[in-house]
Structure 1
């Protein structure tokens, strides 16, 4: 009887060994596939960990379809989208939209309230009097700057939750999701893939990115934060699993007039380019919210920006000032 038990134990141990061996071999066979594509007018890079490249590419196709679907809802540049219809009927009548569009707009207004108007999706109506293509050599007049923000005010976006409508109170108003749309798409792409049990990956929307899981070697994803003053230097390397990162910066697009550099990020209250911070990186659970924070803080500045982000303990920050000082 003891001999049989011993034989049985050996059999179990062998089976367990074979099981763990097969799991280890299976894990080693995982592949990482990356693909770049243009969506929402920006470069997206989608990285997937899967059993083989065929499955990985299938999941990438799914993600691209999801982001394209979102773009068809919220793009203000395509005349047939729901947001374009909202803009076309500004000051005329409310437009009924899908619950997804309504909820995104509702969150955007909450971000405006959170930041006291530093974040505002109605900046889509701002007159483009500042040029950041190297052609601008004189400042706009004070009156032109004042006029440029005449139709900007999130408080004039009227939501009706009963009928799921958006109404822009004044003619000439527009809303757009250039500030948080890509972060939202990255988050949605991640959630879609998690529902399909994809164990790891990154949806990177030109720097606004969402990560989950790990690399095939079980190590976290490594995301470098670049020094805008030294392009080949990395200030910090983030080790991420289920997290997101967003960076807002003034170092790639700007106008230089009389030896003064003017950022392409405009304060929606004043119409003037922001000063003080060259870049703001926020990382935490959601790319959408991280982007709302980073955009707000570029306008608010370092002191008020730190007060804001510290209200949300699950989000961390790294600021770089115009003189190169790192605040973290």
Structure 2
């Protein structure tokens, strides 16, 4: 579960500045998107927000596995049968997801969509599933069985019943692409917040950096810290909103694709990166990997910055953490 609260203190108010920041909340890709655009006036900002909505809808129609006609749905439909020809955009997105899977040794896995949903987080579970049931639930997961043919621009899932899905990185990708589109149109600043998969560019109309606040996993109605951002993406993954308690033990909704068991030991992970897609892939994986392996992964990827909060509330920063904290 991603949860970032971003604080924009002067939205939709024209001060003695030549531009305003206009925000609109919309439901897209089954999630809330908060789109903030800086423009010369409200009408211009609204037009850019309309263009953003169109772009996000375009991406949804490309990658959603809930839309039967989408290319991802077709890939899943023909798993174990034949390769499916896809647009270059989807081919590249799939390749990057496989790359995340390789880097994290399967802690992130694009084929997790094939997992049996044996863990219920609606209060209906009364016992832990048996080891046999858990093992069976992840049998069709395995990014190694995704075959990419770049010359033919096809994706093939080797095993019948396999599925790929972009539930983890898709909204971040939509945020990144929308930012890219807005910059190409000359929009100098804004924020695309896809339910916590957040990307920023430029500055607030008063010349200051954007300020985002990250939820304290130990106290959900409080913020852990505020950070200044300009041109950076950030994603927080956490287990503090969706979990179950069985036999006195807390089980997170974030499942380890390699074992089928819920992740443990970490309450939240925040990753700062150049793209929300990348930040999401790594934050999800580190929730599964745990604190020690997660910090090691961040160290191996110095272009990322990260904060890990364990289940005791202890805070760990990636080496050479440089993201600037905001001091009101």
Same fold per superposition (TM over 0.5): yes
- Give me the whole-angstrom Cα distance separating, in 1, the residues matched to 2:220 and 2:111: 33
2:79 to 90, 93, 97: 90
Give the C-alpha shift of residue 103 in structure 1: 0.3
- Give me the whole-angstrom Cα distance separating, in 2, the residues matched to 1:235 and 1:112: 29
Task: Point out where structure 2 has 5 or more consecutive residues left out of the alignment.
Answer: 1-13, 318-328
CA displacement, residues 192-244 of structure 1 (integer Å, 9 cap, x when unaligned): 00001101100000111000000000100000111011123222211011000
Alpha-carbon contact 1:137-1:256 (below 8 Å) kept:
no
Matched, 1:183 2:172: yes
Counterpart secondary structure, 1:28: coil
- Describe how 1:131-142 pairs up with structure 2 within 5 A: 131-142=120-131
2:189 to 197, 200, 221: 200
Aligned equivalent of 1:126: 115
Counterpart secondary structure, 2:307: strand
- Give me the whole-angstrom Cα distance separating, in 2, the residues matched to 1:115 and 1:226: 25
Alpha-carbon contact 1:33-1:56 (below 8 Å) kept:
yes
2:218 to 229, 236, 251: 229
Aligned equivalent of 1:288: 277
Task: Select the structure with the greater relative contact order (CA < 8 A; seq sep ≥ 6).
Answer: 2
Aligned equivalent of 1:167: 156
- Give me the whole-angstrom Cα distance separating, in 2, the residues matched to 1:197 and 1:26: 22
Give the C-alpha shift of residue 312 in structure 1: 2.1
Aligned CA RMSD, in angstroms, stands at: 1.2
TM-score (normalizing by structure 1)? 0.91
Identify, as 1 or 2, the structure richer in helix.
1
Distance 1:27 1:109, change over 3 A: farther
Matched, 1:102 2:102: no
Aligned equivalent of 2:142: 153
Alpha-carbon contact 1:127-1:149 (below 8 Å) kept:
yes
CA displacement, residues 217-276 of structure 1 (integer Å, 9 cap, x when unaligned): 010000011101112322221101100001111111111111211000000010000001
Counterpart secondary structure, 1:80: coil
2:50 to 61, 68, 73: 61
Aligned equivalent of 2:244: 255
- Describe how 1:290-309 pairs up with structure 2 within 5 A: 290-309=279-298
Alpha-carbon contact 1:202-1:209 (below 8 Å) kept:
yes
Query: Whose Rg is larger?
Result: 1
- Give me the whole-angstrom Cα distance separating, in 2, the residues matched to 1:142 and 1:27: 64
- Give me the whole-angstrom Cα distance separating, in 2, the residues matched to 1:288 and 1:221: 20
- Give me the whole-angstrom Cα distance separating, in 2, the residues matched to 1:114 and 1:257: 32
- Give me the whole-angstrom Cα distance separating, in 2, the residues matched to 1:138 and 1:34: 45
- Give me the whole-angstrom Cα distance separating, in 1, the residues matched to 2:124 and 2:15: 57
1:29 to 13, 18, 22: 18
TM-score (normalizing by structure 2)? 0.91
How many equivalent residue pairs? 304
Alpha-carbon contact 1:248-1:281 (below 8 Å) kept:
yes
Matched, 1:273 2:262: yes
Counterpart secondary structure, 1:310: helix
- Give me the whole-angstrom Cα distance separating, in 2, the residues matched to 1:262 and 1:80: 35
